[in-house]
């Protein structure tokens, strides 16, 4: 008998150890960590008490065996810690809002117990500790432990605390789950308590109290819903990440039960790390007859960690804040951030700048009458095969905190917006959001945009401007939020851009859709000896060294980019009055240019003006500026012009003008338009860069025509003065 008793765990001693740990464990600054948490619980500021195994590991009195017992029998130790907290719970030190149902009923019950109303001998009339508790206990797994994949969780892990990573595919609604059922007897008036530990329970119908048995009265029990205790409950499906699935297999999924304060912490599409207790769930009813001894399994969640935090939830750590302040002071931060996006991809500097602005975005505007103007930028990359469109899309999804990648051929209109499905738990029709709804407050990348069916593509129109998805299916009429930035990649109509046809024929997208894109980027694959040599060297270097060649600075990590962008998105810049006329003039001149050209490269509508404003505000955000500067507007106009650069370069080849002559004609026309003999250097640079020329070409042109005495150049500012009118 003595030998057997050594193996029995003394739970009273375990409770004493738990109590000792909660009382004496000191935080990083020497303060009593868990006593402070309990004081906040007593003051009703928080409900969750999270006990970290890392703290238990560092506690001097907790040995390895105790830690092992907590990890392998977590469900039991949650009860032990809860009992220890009951004994340690301090009195409240601050006034709090009284919960009428709970607090008044509890006072009444305690008074009745003191008066001897309840028969102390009857176990069913003893008040269970769960009904008195206004806190929940969670045990958090070690932070340093590598999370398991769903495949690695085996039968040997049942009852243990495990840590799993995966992607959330489905979330049920939050529903109340009964924890303690309270009945009142019509005959004897006693309160009977029934603890509910499973998902289903058999209610009591006859009063089991001693008084009813003595009187031989079968007292009828009435379930008191107001006096019972309910917990918030949510069921979540967690699926394996694509990189964890072996070749030729399909991803496995696991049911996760979230209770209490952990509900509403995840949404479909989130990549998370969950720690929880792996438990069996026996089948009930007819399913139990079919299943026999086989049980289903689920994870009872204890803690949730998001891999990528939303921009709004991003909390900057001390060193990150310093790093961002240092970067913000750097004059060339715009170029550095853009070049840090996919540094392995050669060139495409302006495309990367546009994608950086897509990540930053502009704030949403809500007018006085409730009308909304979107702030998200939409970009379409259209180009020949092999210009790294899909790679850029994948990289942007990797950098963005919330991103969904889909292809045109593999997604239907329903898959993009929302589908009506039958909920397996309740058998009701429920809406399941598609790619655009999952990417709410994020980015939706659609590859092979041109391969989509026309009927499916129309589903995107509403999302791109109104930013909602309206549904009227299976008796469900509703509107879902889809505040997403759309990044599309497409090939021209005939696979490659055909120079003999007009841009409109090549692009082959309806004007209604084209006008919704802030930037339509045409990337043509042209044969150019120097450029092709540089690109080939770059590709070979990346292939050999698995990293990009030196950029002259260290590219920023995606995590630093996310931190910088999250800080930039908090700024809400405004457009000053003095710039209003400048922007209006720029917009009207774009319209005039389009009217003059026979084959328009794009459709300029009032949406183009809104696009200029959005891009300018995104540029101001990158500088952490509260107001938009003229340089921001100029850069926005330059990006719009550069998006069609490959077409203009071809027009110039056909017109027979070389770069130097073309720059001269641009400057001469500008001087004639303003009726002035002088052109400022900065203005000249802005004009020629919109046409796709570089600063080096401008300087070459200035020197050549200065030697011909056409103009004079200021030695310091490089401003241009025409000699002959």
Residues carrying CATH 2.40.50.140, the chain: 141-306
Structure confidence at residue 439 (pLDDT): 78
C-alpha span between 432 and 419 (Å, rounded): 5
Per CATH, the architecture of 141-306 is what? Beta Barrel (2.40)
Structure confidence at residue 598 (pLDDT): 58
Given a contact cutoff of 8 angstroms between Cβ atoms, the answer to whether 125 and 78 are in contact is: no
C-alpha span between 450 and 490 (Å, rounded): 5
Measured CA angle at 179 (ends 177, 180), to 5 deg: 135
C-alpha closest to that of 573 among 632, 620, 629, 609: 620
Q: What is the 3-state secondary structure (H, E, C) of 100-113?
A: HHHHHHHHHHHHHH
Residues carrying CATH 3.30.1640, the chain: 12-88
Residues carrying CATH 1.10.10, the chain: 656-722
C-alpha closest to that of 497 among 489, 487, 512, 507: 507
C-alpha span between 302 and 161 (Å, rounded): 9
C-alpha span between 256 and 26 (Å, rounded): 33
Say which residues have a Cβ less than 8 Å from residue 227's Cβ, sequence separation at least 6: 101, 105, 182, 184, 191
Given a contact cutoff of 8 angstroms between Cβ atoms, the answer to whether 392 and 348 are in contact is: yes
Given a contact cutoff of 8 angstroms between Cβ atoms, the answer to whether 383 and 398 are in contact is: no
pLDDT tens-digit map of 8-48: 777 788 888 888 888 888 877 778 888 888 888 888 888 88
Residue 705 backbone class (left: φ over 0; alpha: ψ -120 to 50; beta: rest): alpha
C-alpha span between 308 and 303 (Å, rounded): 16
Pick the CATH number of 656-722 from 1.10.10, 2.60.40, 3.40.1000, 1.10.260: 1.10.10
Residue 420: helix, strand or coil by DSSP?
Answer: strand
Q: Which residues of the chain have pLDDT under 70?
A: 1-7, 99-106, 108-125, 309-318, 410-413, 424-426, 597-603, 645-658, 724-725
% helix / strand / coil in the chain, to the nearest 5?
40, 20, 40
Structure confidence at residue 123 (pLDDT): 64
pLDDT tens-digit map of 360-409: 989 888 888 888 888 888 988 888 888 888 888 888 888 888 788 888 77
With respect to CATH, is domain 12-88 assigned 3.30.70? no
* Residue 371: half-sphere exposure toward Cβ, Cα within 13 Å: 4
Question: What are 84's two structure tokens?
Answer: 């220890």
Given a contact cutoff of 8 angstroms between Cβ atoms, the answer to whether 573 and 625 are in contact is: yes
Structure confidence at residue 120 (pLDDT): 52
- In the CATH hierarchy, which fold is given to the domain comprising 318-650? Rossmann fold (3.40.50)
CA distances, 242 to each of 150, 151, 249, 501 (Å): 12, 13, 10, 42
Residues carrying CATH 3.40.50.300, the chain: 318-650
């Amino acid at each position: 008998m003595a030998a057997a008793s050594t193996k029995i765990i003394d739970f009273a001693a375990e409770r004493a150890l738990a109590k000792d740990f909660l009382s004496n464990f000191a935080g990083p600054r020497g303060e009593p960590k868990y006593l402070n948490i309990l004081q906040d619980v007593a003051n009703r500021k928080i409900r969750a008490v999270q006990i970290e195994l890392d703290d238990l590991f560092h506690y001097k009195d907790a040995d390895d065996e105790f830690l092992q017992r907590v990890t392998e029998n977590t469900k039991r130790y949650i009860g032990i810690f809860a009992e220890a907290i009951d004994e340690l719970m301090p009195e409240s030190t601050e006034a709090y809002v009284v919960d009428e149902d709970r607090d008044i009923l509890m006072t009444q019950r305690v008074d009745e117990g003191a008066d001897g109303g309840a028969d102390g001998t009857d176990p069913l009339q003893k008040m269970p500790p769960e009904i008195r508790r206004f806190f929940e206990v969670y045990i958090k797994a070690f932070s340093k432990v590598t999370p398991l994949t769903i495949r690695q969780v085996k039968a040997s892990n049942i009852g243990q605390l495990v840590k799993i990573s995966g992607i959330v595919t489905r979330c049920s609604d939050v529903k109340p789950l009964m924890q303690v059922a309270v009945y009142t007897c019509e005959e004897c008036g006693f309160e009977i308590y029934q603890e509910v530990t499973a998902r289903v329970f058999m209610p009591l119908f006859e009063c089991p109290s001693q008084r009813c048995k003595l009187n031989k009265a079968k007292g009828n029990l009435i379930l008191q819903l107001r006096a019972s205790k309910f917990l918030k409950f949510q069921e979540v499906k967690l699926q394996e990440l694509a990189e964890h699935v072996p070749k030729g297999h399909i991803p496995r999924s696991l049911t996760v039960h979230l209770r209490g304060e952990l509900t509403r912490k995840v949404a479909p599409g989130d990549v998370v790390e969950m720690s929880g207790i792996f438990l069996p769930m026996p089948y009930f009813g007819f399913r139990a007859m079919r299943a026999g001894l086989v049980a289903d399994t689920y994870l009872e969640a204890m803690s949730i960690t998001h891999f990528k935090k939303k921009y709004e939830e991003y909390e900057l750590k001390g060193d990150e804040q310093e790093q961002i302040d240092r970067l913000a002071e750097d004059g060339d931060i715009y170029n550095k951030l853009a070049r840090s996006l996919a540094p392995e991809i050669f060139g495409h500097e302006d495309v990367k700048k546009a994608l950086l602005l897509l990540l930053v975005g502009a704030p949403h505007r809500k007018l006085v009458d409730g009308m909304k103007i979107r702030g998200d930028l939409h970009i379409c990359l259209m180009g020949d095969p092999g210009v790294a469109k899909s790679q850029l899309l994948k990289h942007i999804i990797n950098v963005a905190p919330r991103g969904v990648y889909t292809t045109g051929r593999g997604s239907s209109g329903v898959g993009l917006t929302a589908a009506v499905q039958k909920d397996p738990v309740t058998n009701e029709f429920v809406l399941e959001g598609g790619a655009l709804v999952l990417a709410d407050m994020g980015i939706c990348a659609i590859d092979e945009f041109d391969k989509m069916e026309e009927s499916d593509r129309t589903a995107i129109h509403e999302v791109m401007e109104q930013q909602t998805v309206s549904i009227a299916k299976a008796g469900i009429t509703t509107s879902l939020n889809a505040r997403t930035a759309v990044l599309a990649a497409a090939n021209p109509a005939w696979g490659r851009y055909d120079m003999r046809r007009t841009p409109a024929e090549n692009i082959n997208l309806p004007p209604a859709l084209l006008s919704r894109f802030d930037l339509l980027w045409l990337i043509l694959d042209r044969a150019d000896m120097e450029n092709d040599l540089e690109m080939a060297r770059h590709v070979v270097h990346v292939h050999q060294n698995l990293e990009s060649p030196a950029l002259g600075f260290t590219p920023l990590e995606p995590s630093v980019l996310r931190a910088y962008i999250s800080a930039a998105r908090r700024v809400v810049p405004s457009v000053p009055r003095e710039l209003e006329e400048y922007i209006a003039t720029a917009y009207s001149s774009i319209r005039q240019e389009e009217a003059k050209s026979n084959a328009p490269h794009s459709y300029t509508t009032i949406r183009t003006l809104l696009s200029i404003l959005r891009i300018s505000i995104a540029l101001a955000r990158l500088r952490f500026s509260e107001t938009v500067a003229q340089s921001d507007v100029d850069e926005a106009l330059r990006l719009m012009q550069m998006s069609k650069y490959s077409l203009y370069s071809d027009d110039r080849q056909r017109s027979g003008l070389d770069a130097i002559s073309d720059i001269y004609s641009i400057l001469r026309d500008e001087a004639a338009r303003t009726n002035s003999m002088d052109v400022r250097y900065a203005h000249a640079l802005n004009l020629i860069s919109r046409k796709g020329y570089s600063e080096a070409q401008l300087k070459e042109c200035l020197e050549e025509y200065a030697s011909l005495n056409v103009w004079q150049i200021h030695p310091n500012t490089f401003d241009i003065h025409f000699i002959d009118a």
